[in-house]
Amino acid sequence: MAGCAACAGEVQLEDTFCARCGAPVTDPFVGTVVGERYRIVSRIGIGGMGAVYRAEHTMMRRDLAIKVLLPELGGKEEFARRFEREAESASRLDHPNIITVTDFGHTADGSLFLVMEFLAGESLTRAISHGPMPPTRALAIIRQVLRALDHAHAAGVVHRDLKPDNIMLVERDGQPDVVKILDFGIAKVTEPLSGKGKPGEALTQAGVIFGTPEYLSPEQALGEPVDPRADIYAAGVILYEMLAGRRPFESEDKVKIISMHLAHAPPRVRDVNPAIDLPVPLEQAVLQALEKSREHRFATAAAFLQALEDAETPPPVGANAALGLGATALDLPPGAELPAGVAAPMRPSGSTARRLAAALVVVVAVFGTVKVVKRKARHVVALVTPAPRPAPAAPDLAQRLSKIEDWLEQGNNAAARRALEQAMDERPKDGRIRYMLGRVAYADDRHAEALGHYRDAITLDAGFRGDPVLLAHLDAMLSESKQADAALDLVVEHVGAPAADLLEKVANEGNDLARRRRAAAALEEMGEGKRVDRVSIGILELRKAATCDERKAWVETLVDLGDPKALPALRALRGRRIGPLAFGGSDTSCMRTELPDAIKTLEKKAGITEAPPRGRRRR
């Protein structure tokens, strides 16, 4: 908070004129010397945490940039620690594509400041605003980003808020588009990958979301602990945006964007930007970076970088004719074309290439053209269609399965398992055999194994998505602490609409906020958002909020929802008072008037009126 030079009224640094007297607002830092050697020349801009200034070293006559923590945030420990964390992150990093931080200290009035190299250029956001980039330019930029991330991750630093606003493009020695990554203010500093060094203290708590919704990884959206693969997801979004001219998930509603990150498959780049001639391996590399499950993304920035390099490497001459000797694509007979909207298979090699080639020849021979090509990448999508009936078993298999059913009912699980394993050797792609193996595993209390068999059964025959026994087993496993997450994975990723009742139960019950968020997001994507008890989730969000500002946001949301059942949770924030003593409650210092007003609003909706003041007793 600054003071107006004309009337001494309170003004914000970002104000142009004083609201009280109309006088121009001057920045008190401009013209001063910070840290005894940095003269502030002008203000460049103001962000959420600090103001950035152009400065000059008084002795070296060198242009620098100085970020100063906003005065009104200096007294808040969380922001001060985050500012210090940016300095700590910078002390670990020395890379040509990461902005150089040279000094850290306090101004004369005690405000924290960082000294950085001065960058003259444009943000990647502005560069993207001109429209889709040619793939050569986009790849040149993302390669530098990935090299910088690889360096940061090796030093134990995860950015967590990577986005075009935090990437500057500058010119160096006549070379345009030199990348500089900025703003490690919410970075997660951990033990370096080498194992050396002291682990940093975590600044965030489980269940608290940090980052920008448009570039948020699914695990960040769920409030889960993050690792370098969160940055890889953000890099995938950025590369997609450079190539397509827009992000994979866009909406005016930030909550909707987060829901898309959790349960929506990104559209193909060429569907968004038909004018781009994008090689299939390159598009598949982008989509792998955007996998919902971090386990299916590139493990490191270096692996992502290598995939991009491989995507640009031309295939050996005559490789396609060799059918499997390093081919990047499979030759098709005359007239056989991949239909619009169907992705070609990822680059095969060795025996995989030979199997794909043989399969393609069979498809073309029977149908005369290629109708379907499935990509192996697993994208978490909302399965909104009802399940068909499973394919009937072949007559000879049906007799064997009937006998296995009898053994299972009699509790002779060992005999049932032996018969099924023998049948699976004979028919490895039969979904019904996998399904029965899942039932046997469940009966043996081997629930993790059962989930694996059920997943395989659905993959081979989508009709098992709606099987009542399978759904009953999933319902039970969703209540088990050890299997709940894996069971929810199966429901969201493979079952979908037939399990809407199970998702409704998870979304509206229990204290596991991450699971409830994910189930609610899946229902939203199915068009079943009306099943979600938003008030119940809002109450849980309120109880788990870590700061007063977060609680205030959820109080406002609950008032907007207008359901009086939120009243006990709002009242609980105040605690109980007995005379001068207070019991329980939470920090509500940021909503001294808003909380009472919220309670009154919901009490009015509930028909609760204030009791009239009691009169004095007569003696």
What's the pLDDT tens digit per position in 10-63? 656 555 667 667 667 677 788 889 888 999 998 887 766 678 899 999 888 889
Confidence of residue 339 (pLDDT cuts 50, 70, 90): very low
Question: How many Å apart are CA 284 and CA 378, to the nearest integer?
Answer: 12
User: What pLDDT shows up at residue 367?
Assistant: 31
CATH 3.30.200.20 location in the chain:
31-117
The DSSP letter of residue 463 is G
Could you give the residue ranges of the DSSP H alpha helices within 245-299?
254-263, 269-272, 280-289
Q: What is the 3-state secondary structure (H, E, C) of 353-413?
A: HHHHHHHHHHHHHHHCCCCCCCCCCCCCCCCCCCCCCCCCCCHHHHHHHHHHHHHHHHCCH
Taking each helix axis as running N to C, give the angle between helix 548-561 and helix 567-574, from 0 to 180 degrees, rounded to the nearest 10: 150
Is the Cβ–Cβ distance between 107 and 68 less than 8 Å?
yes
List, in sequence order, every beta strand (DSSP E) within 91-230.
Answer: 101-106, 112-117, 121-123, 157-158, 167-172, 175-181, 188-189
Q: Tokens 């801009």 belong to which residue?
A: 45
For the whole model, what pTM was predicted?
A: 0.51
Is 444 part of the annotated catalytic residue set? no
Question: How many Å apart are CA 512 and CA 516, to the nearest integer?
Answer: 6
User: Is residue 127 classed as helix, strand or coil in its secondary structure?
Assistant: helix
What tokens does 25 get?
């607002």
pLDDT > 60? residue 320: no
Question: How many Å apart are CA 185 and CA 160, to the nearest integer?
Answer: 9
pLDDT, tens digit, for every residue of 462-479?
899 999 999 999 999 999
Q: Tokens 């399990």 belong to which residue?
A: 499
User: What pLDDT shows up at residue 6?
Assistant: 62
∠ CA 41-46-47, rounded to 5°: 145
Question: How many Å apart are CA 465 and CA 457, to the nearest integer?
Answer: 9
CATH 1.25.40.10 location in the chain:
395-532
Question: How many Å apart are CA 25 and CA 33, to the nearest integer?
Answer: 20
Confidence of residue 434 (pLDDT cuts 50, 70, 90): very high
121-312 folds as Transferase(Phosphotransferase); domain 1 (1.10.510)
User: What pLDDT shows up at residue 15?
Assistant: 58
pLDDT > 80? residue 205: no
Question: How many Å apart are CA 513 and CA 214, to the nearest integer?
Answer: 21
pLDDT > 90? residue 247: yes
What tokens does 260 get?
């898309």
Question: How many Å apart are CA 80 and CA 106, to the nearest integer?
Answer: 11
Is the Cβ–Cβ distance between 566 and 535 less than 8 Å?
yes
Is the Cβ–Cβ distance between 242 and 133 less than 8 Å?
yes
- Tell me the CATH number of domain 395-532, given options 1.25.40.10, 1.10.3720.10, 1.20.120.330, 3.40.50.11540: 1.25.40.10
- Across the chain, mean pLDDT equals 79
Lowest mean pLDDT among 235-244, 313-322, 503-512: 313-322
**Of 13, 98, 100, residue with least CA distance to 51:** 13
Is the Cβ–Cβ distance between 426 and 397 less than 8 Å?
no
Confidence of residue 348 (pLDDT cuts 50, 70, 90): very low
Is the Cβ–Cβ distance between 377 and 288 less than 8 Å?
yes
CATH 1.10.510.10 location in the chain:
121-312
Question: For the residues 168-197, what does the mean pLDDT come to?
Answer: 72
Which long-range contacts link 522-526 to residues 24+ away (Cβ below 8 Å)? 522/262, 522/263, 522/382, 522/491, 522/492, 522/496, 524/256, 524/259, 524/263, 525/259, 525/260, 525/263, 525/264, 525/381, 525/382, 525/384, 526/382, 526/383, 526/384, 526/496, 526/497, 526/500
User: What pLDDT shows up at residue 114?
Assistant: 86
Confidence of residue 171 (pLDDT cuts 50, 70, 90): very high
Q: Are strands 10-11 and 33-34 parallel, antiparallel or unpaired?
A: unpaired
**What is the length of the chain?**
619
User: Is residue 94 classed as helix, strand or coil in its secondary structure?
Assistant: coil
In what helix (H) or strand (E) does residue 578 lie, and over which residues does it extend?
Answer: strand 576-578
pLDDT, tens digit, for every residue of 80-98?
777 777 777 777 788 999 9
Could you give the residue ranges of the DSSP H alpha helices within 186-327?
218-221, 228-244, 254-263, 269-272, 280-289, 301-312, 319-322
Q: Which is the catalytic residue, given 150, 161, 183, 461? A: 161
Please indicate whether residue 73 or residue 108 has the higher confidence score (pLDDT). 108
Question: For the residues 334-339, what does the mean pLDDT come to?
Answer: 42
Confidence of residue 361 (pLDDT cuts 50, 70, 90): very low
Lowest mean pLDDT among 357-366, 595-604, 606-615: 357-366
31-117 folds as Phosphorylase Kinase; domain 1 (3.30.200)
Beta bridge partners of 112: 106
At 605, phi and psi to the nearest 5?
Answer: -65, -30
